[in-house]
Amino acid sequence: MTLDILRWHPYARQGLSWAVTVLSVLACLLILPTRLPGMELLSVGPNWLLIWVVAWSVKRTAFQGALAGLLLGMLQDAMTAPEPTHAISLAIVGVLTARLQKQRYVQEEFISIALIVFGMAVVAETIIALQFSWISLTQPDLPNRTLTEIWTYHQRIALSSAILSSLWAPAIYYPLNRWWSWMQSFEQPSN
């Protein structure tokens, strides 16, 4: 199997790598509307796209992280509502994750990933809540939550989603990280 892929044309290999990446995004998207038993806390589940963005950005540049966050955020917008957008929050998560000097803090990879995901989930929900607050301040005529409602709800969502996302983070991070580093190992000798 390994030798087979080694003999492939670099383009074909790159295509395969991208296909697997796209499929993993698709899997994350399709799991979003489900509410599987045992995956919920206060009727809030893990934020799969956020885990994916963190897994992607951890070993990449800030630009790549922002781009991935933007694209995945737009996909989540497509599945809910275009306003407020998830693209901003996920893009910021991508940039922050890429800028983090994570080797400096915790050696163990899984634990540091779980911690990053925990922090980023709080950041992402806060940015969404800020957008909701902005909408309710600038357009008070629209039916929406009041500011107090937004921020009490934010506490509930941010905490549950952070806990669950950080617990489920290895389920996405581990296979994807293995795959990407495997693909990387082929790129090195050829270049």
Per-residue burial over 42-75, b = 16 or more CB atoms within 10 Å of its CB, e = otherwise: eebbbbbbbbbbbbbbbeeeeeebbbbbbebbeb
Q: What are phi and psi of 82, to 5 degrees?
A: -70, -15
79 binds another protein (CB under 8 A): yes
Give the per-residue contact string, 53-72, with another protein (x = CB under 8 A; - = no): --------------x---x-
Nearer to another protein, 30 or 111 (CB): 30
Report the alpha-carbon distance of residue 186 to residue 99 in Å, rounded.
26
CB nearer to another protein: give 74 or 115: 74
Q: Is 128 in the site for another protein (CB under 8 A)?
A: yes
Q: Does 22 contact another protein by CB under 8 A?
A: yes
Among 30, 111, 147, 171, binds another protein (CB under 8 A): 30
Structure tokens at 104: 């400096």
Contact 171, 36 (CB under 8 A): no
Residue number, 58 or 127, with CB nearest to another protein: 127
Is the CB of residue 70 less than 8 Å from the CB of residue 78?
no
Binding mask 88-127 for another protein (x = CB under 8 A): ----------------------------------------
Structure tokens at 159: 């905490």
Task: Give, as ranges, the residues between 139 and 178 that touch another protein (CB under 8 A).
Answer: 139, 141-145, 149, 153, 157, 161
- What is residue 80's three-state secondary structure? coil
Q: How far is 21 from 128, CA to CA, in rounded Å?
A: 26
| Residue (30 or 171) nearer to another protein, CB | 30
Residue 191, helix vs strand vs coil: coil
Q: In angstroms, give the least distance from the CB of 149 to another protein.
A: 7
Site residues (vs another protein, CB under 8 A) = 11, 14, 18, 22, 26, 29-30, 32-35, 43-45, 47, 67, 71, 74-83, 86, 128, 132, 139, 141-145, 149, 153, 157, 161
